[in-house]
Amino acid sequence: MTYVMGFVAAVPAANKDAYRKFAEGSVDYFKGLGATRLLETWGDDVPRGENTDFYRSVAAKDGEVIVYSLQEFPDRATADAANEKMMNDPAMANMEMPFDGARMIFGGFDAISERKGTGQAGYVEGSVIAVPESARDAYAGYAKTVADLLIEHGAVRSVDAWGAMVPDGKVTDFKKAVGAKPGETVVFGWIEWPSKAVRDAAWPKLMEDPRMAENEAPDIDESRRVFGGFDILLDA
């Protein structure tokens, strides 16, 4: 199944156009390294939480917006080879970014649930959560059932990906973002909707769907999930 490189960053709101151009300029480079898709999204409905949220995950400052992005690869071997080439590319080392790369968090994830509907993605819900490493199969089954319901209620695509390469950072990282404990890994997931309006109409119906209540989640702490809604800047 798909291997995903996931990223979260804080970008000054004033740099939105600069970030879009930065992302557009990277498409050919990463496609040349084997990426099959690049998705860049801009924070639209990103709530602040009591314990965890996307803002704290990247130590966002006043005037900064959360960017949730990902690169899809056919497998981990292709992604690892791409990362090695990129790390050894002088052009990448000298690249000027319109945000503080030191606070960006990133990781590699194996898709364990991947469901597709019909239509074109116009809005994205992204989330990150800590899951016990022993619960991989249980979480995959749970995620697949939820994904089927999401597609039934209008979602274009739903993916949940299991942490395979989630490095520790000095200041920020995915594990800190969700308060991961020993024996837990990070699941990076997203839902693609045709529009925000479709998303907003679907969730009340989903919450009333008895199949959602019957689908028991494994032993996870939902209070540590970070999530938000995002407008698409680039889908290539």
Q: What tens digit of pLDDT does each residue of 6-56 get?
A: 999 999 999 999 999 999 999 999 999 999 999 999 999 999 999 999 999
pLDDT value for 219: 87
pLDDT value for 226: 98
d(CA 22, CA 180): 32
pLDDT value for 217: 84
pLDDT value for 1: 74
- Nearest Cα residue to 10 out of 134, 103, 123: 103
pLDDT value for 203: 97
What amino acid occupies position 5? M
d(CA 75, CA 232): 24
Q: What is the pTM of this model?
A: 0.96
pLDDT value for 216: 85
d(CA 17, CA 67): 13
Provide DSSP, 149-208. Answer: HHHHTT-SEEEEEEEEE----SS--HHHHTTPPTTEEEEEEEEEES-HHHHHHHHHHHHH
pLDDT < 50: residue spans in the chain: none
Please, which residues bridge with residue 123 across strands?
193, 231
Domains for the chain: give ranges and CATH numbers. Answer: 3-235 (3.30.70.100)
